[in-house]
Amino acid sequence: MNDIRPKVERLRLDPGSYETLRQQVLSRDGWRCQSCGTISNLEVHHQQFRSNSGGDSELNLITLCRTCHTGVHRELQKPRK
């Protein structure tokens, strides 16, 4: 039995469309970091990374401040025991 699945095509928007989506996500999230609640230095984070077939879709994006966003990426880069 073969468990290898075909690669899923991800949605990748052009820069103008992505900026529109980014603004929609920021608005949806009330212009607040969804982790700590701050309203400054906001960024939009792909919950499933683009490198792991995560697409540019509203369901895959979340608003985080720069500090929380950096923390998420640092945690994911730590070696697992």
Tell whether the torsion through CA atoms of 19, 24, 17 and 71 is positive or negative: positive
Q: In this structure, are residues 18 and 60 in contact, taking their beta carbons and an 8 Å threshold?
A: no
Q: Rounded distance, CA 29 to CA 12, Å?
A: 21
Q: Which tokens belong to 12?
A: 């990748």
Structural domain boundaries in the chain: 15-76
pTM exceeds 0.75: yes
Which amino acid appears at position 50 of this protein?
R
Mean pLDDT calculated for residue range 21-27 = 97
| pLDDT-based confidence at residue 5 (cuts at 50, 70, 90) | low
pLDDT tens digits for 34-79? 999 999 999 999 998 877 777 889 999 999 999 999 999 888 777 7
